[in-house]
């Protein structure tokens, strides 16, 4: 994003030549950090694996994407500059967006939204801290495993309890302890914010043990 903004500034003020300072970017290019001019680039299509994207992602986000590199109108502009111009540009744009979007169950979306709400209440919502990003990603991954397991196995489950167990299990793995300490009331584990049946915690531990190394 910074490179694009700087390139636009350079186009608006061509009378001011840039004193290039080239740095290596994350995608392997050598680009000027002031104007964005690329000195050395590689064929990213050939080097990029099929399951890798430069779109920021997180396991706790529905669809995993944190935002596309181009919005709908930006995609239309790029296609309009191609060999076919504006011919069927709307249809081609729609086809591309269908190819790259991820379709996930609405039930999973509700679980992830609830997990995100709990993390906000526990002060893990500030993504400027690396710790919070790691926690959110791990909680999202745990919720996804649980949802897939109970759905495939066709087991009855309560979304809120399952999500709360995933949050508790993940935070415990990372060394966080509830204050005041968790209490056991019959078959339920309870903190000042969470309350869930212990069977969900057992499933978390089972899935974590069986999926290590995958």
Instruction: Kindly state whether residues 90 and 120 are assigned to the same domain.
Output: no
Q: What's the confidence (pLDDT) of residue 90?
A: 75
Boundaries of domain holding 98: 55-103
* Helical (H) or strand (E) element with 90: helix 89-100
In whole angstroms, give the CA distance from residue 169 to residue 44.
Answer: 39
Q: What's the confidence (pLDDT) of residue 79?
A: 66
Confidence of residue 97 (pLDDT cuts 50, 70, 90): low
Instruction: Kindly state whether residues 196 and 166 are assigned to the same domain.
Output: yes
Q: How many domains does the chain have?
A: 3
For residue 37, give the nearest of 16, 8, 71 by alpha carbon.
Answer: 8
pLDDT tens-digit map of 72-91: 666 666 667 677 777 777 77
Residue 43 CB partners (closer than 8 Å, separation 6+)? none
* Whole-prediction pTM: 0.58
Given a cut of 60, is residue 189 above it in pLDDT? yes
Instruction: Kindly state whether residues 129 and 72 are assigned to the same domain.
Output: no
pLDDT tens-digit map of 34-49: 676 766 544 444 444 4
Average pLDDT over residues 119-131: 86
Instruction: Kindly state whether residues 137 and 198 are assigned to the same domain.
Output: yes
Instruction: Kindly state whether residues 200 and 116 are assigned to the same domain.
Output: yes
Q: Taking all residues of the chain, what is their mean pLDDT, rounded to a whole number?
A: 75
Share of the chain above pLDDT 70, in %: 62
């Amino acid at each position: 994003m910074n490179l694009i903004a700087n390139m636009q500034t350079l186009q608006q003020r061509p009378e001011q030549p840039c004193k290039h300072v080239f740095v290596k970017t994350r995608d392997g290019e050598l680009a000027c950090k002031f104007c964005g001019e690329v000195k050395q680039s590689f064929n990213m299509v050939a080097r990029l694996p099929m399951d890798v994207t430069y779109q920021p992602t997180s396991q706790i986000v529905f669809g995993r994407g944190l935002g596309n590199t181009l919005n709908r109108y930006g995609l239309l502009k790029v296609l309009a500059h191609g060999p076919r111009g504006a011919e069927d540009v709307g249809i081609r744009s729609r086809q591309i967006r269908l190819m790259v979007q991820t379709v996930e169950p609405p039930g999973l979306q509700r679980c992830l939204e609830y997990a995100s709400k709990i993390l906000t209440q526990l002060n893990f919502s500030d993504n400027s801290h690396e710790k919070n990003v790691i926690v959110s990603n791990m909680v999202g991954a745990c919720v996804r495993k649980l949802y897939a397991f109970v759905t495939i196995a066709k087991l009855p489950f309560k979304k809120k309890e399952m999500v709360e167990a995933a949050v508790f299990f993940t935070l415990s793995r990372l060394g966080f302890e509830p204050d005041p300490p968790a209490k056991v009331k019959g078959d339920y584990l309870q903190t000042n914010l969470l309350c869930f049946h212990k069977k969900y915690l057992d499933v978390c531990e089972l899935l974590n043990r069986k999926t290590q190394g995958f």
